Amino acid sequence: MVSLRFTKDHEYVRLDGDIATIGITDYAQKQLGDVVFVELPDVGAKLERGKQAAIVESVKAASEVYAPLTGVVVAVNEALPDTPAIVNSSPLAGGWFLKMTLAHAGEMDVLMSEADYNAYVETLG
Amino acid sequence: MAADISLKQTPLVMAHRASGARMVPFAGYEMPLHYEDGILAEHNWTRGNAGLFDVSHMGQAELVGPDHETTARALEALVPADILGLEPGKQRYTQLLNPSGGIIDDVMVSRGGDDGRLALVVNAARASVDYAHMMSALPPVVRLLAHEDRALLALQGPKAAAVLAEHEATLAAMSFMSVRHVRLAGIDCVVSRSGYTGEDGFEIALGARDAPRLWAVLTGEDDVRPVGLGARDTLRLEAGLCLYGHDIDETTSPIEAGLAFSVAKRRRQEGGFPGARRLMGELAGDMKRQRVGIIVEGRQPAREGCAILDPAKGLRIGIITSGGFSPTVGRPVAMGYLPPTHAVAGTALHVQVRDKRLNALVTAMPFVPHRYARAG
């Protein structure tokens, strides 16, 4: 079963079985503008919910991407170093950042549903 | 985003919003960072076609004296350029200097006709400092008039000349750094052949109330698209041009900043400008640091504030003052200050970006060759 959840910091989590795929939302890529570089963690790195997981650099600025969950990185998107613009063109599919294990299943429950996230983005104007 | 009522607006704010601009605070103004196409597309459009920039936030002022010699000598007491020799219809780049030879602001000076007037364009964030400085230093016979009712557009790129020539054929023959009064679309304008992108182009000064109409006329051309401050910054970085408050400030001298071309030969011999002793010493080789261009290996940008390290010893030897990903070069580029021993093209460096040390090389600027209209 696949479930999609979101954070207020505009990361998404797609949980498929016990592996979570993490990336940034369409709203986030639009705010950042043209992505030119993504700094990813190493496979095996331990991530803590709310702490820095990656850094995304657009033409304008560098922005932190926070871990939406606690767990261990099991894969990173090898396409991003050479084609970072895929984060702009396909944030929820080809532009994913990393895959991780989920240490605390309950952490999924505090994340927003797609409907709640869309309503939240509406309030940001 | 809620409107910030403390921000000033240019006469073109409605046009920007209508074009889908993302508006941000900049130097006290609400300015377009980019339009719907985004910074990268606007950058590339300017390099290939013609980008139209609203730079009405910049300060426009005039020095008014009884004759050119009086006004020019008054300004020469504040800047190291040859203003006395500035011919009618010509523009010059210079810097207001403090007594230590540091840069209060960098400014464009132009002489319209054969009279005692000189027009100035100054940085928005420095305008009030510049005006107070000049008013305290100018002799009583030379007045400073700050024009708050003016707008400034920049049309930049290889197609800029052809676009303006459709409205006024004589503009295509203007030489770089010349200035002239013309009517464009029936509007009185002062046009200079200059800019801040490294491309051929023009800056067009006009009355604030006429600005929306000229903006509409020019953006209506197929070869012209509006371009925001985001691309203005990446374009000027590629062109190796200084941004005040970043690459130059009250501590840096024009010699350290690589602006010696703008310190006139006569002024070097005669002196008589603030900080002359320091500038002369630096010209003679007594220099602590120099602005350099840097190309960073890989794709990760090294931005303002990153430390520059000597790769052999790991010691900090300088700092990056501007940096980012260059769309035209396709690599990260930066500028920063280094001791003269390291300010040599080809010198290997490390730059510290967060917890990583990236390999980098000192390189000649500009990163993208200038394409100014040299011959008239």
Residue B36 annotated as lining a ligand binding site: no
Alpha carbon distance B63, B74 (integer Å): 9
Chain A nearest C-alpha distance from B278 (Å)? 36
Q: What is the pTM of this model?
A: 0.95
Alpha carbon distance B372, B364 (integer Å): 18
Are the Cβ atoms of B325 and A62 closer than 8 angstroms? no
- Under 8 Å CB pairs connecting chains A and B tally to 40
Q: Is residue B287 packed enough to be buried (19+ CB in 10 Å), middle (13-18) or exposed (0-12)?
A: middle
Task: Tell me the backbone φ, ψ of residue B220, rounded to 5 degrees.
Answer: -75, -10
CB-closest option in A39, A59, A125 to B325:
A59
**What secondary structure letter does DSSP report for B70?**
H
Contact with chain B for residue A106, Cβ under 8 A: no
Which amino acid is residue B345, in one-letter code?
A
- B95 contacts B104 by C-beta, under 8 angstroms: yes
- pLDDT tens sequence for chain B (376 residues): 455 678 999 999 999 999 999 999 999 999 999 999 999 999 999 999 999 999 999 999 999 999 999 999 999 999 999 999 999 999 999 999 999 999 999 999 999 999 999 999 999 999 999 999 999 999 999 999 999 999 999 999 999 999 999 999 999 999 999 999 999 999 999 999 999 999 999 999 999 999 999 999 999 999 999 999 999 999 999 999 999 999 999 999 999 999 999 999 999 999 999 999 999 999 999 999 999 999 999 999 999 999 999 999 999 999 999 999 999 999 999 999 999 999 999 999 999 999 999 999 999 999 999 999 875 4
Domains and CATH numbers, chain B: 8-56+149-238 (3.30.1360.120), 288-376 (2.40.30.110)
**What strand order describes the sheet that includes A19-24?**
A2-6, A11-16, A19-24, A98-101, A71-76, A46-47
Are the Cβ atoms of B301 and A37 closer than 8 angstroms? yes
Alpha carbon distance B307, B355 (integer Å): 11
Q: What is the ipTM of this complex?
A: 0.88
CA proximity to B321, closest of B260, B233, B224: B233
CB-closest option in B230, B299, B354 to A60:
B230
- B238 contacts B332 by C-beta, under 8 angstroms: no
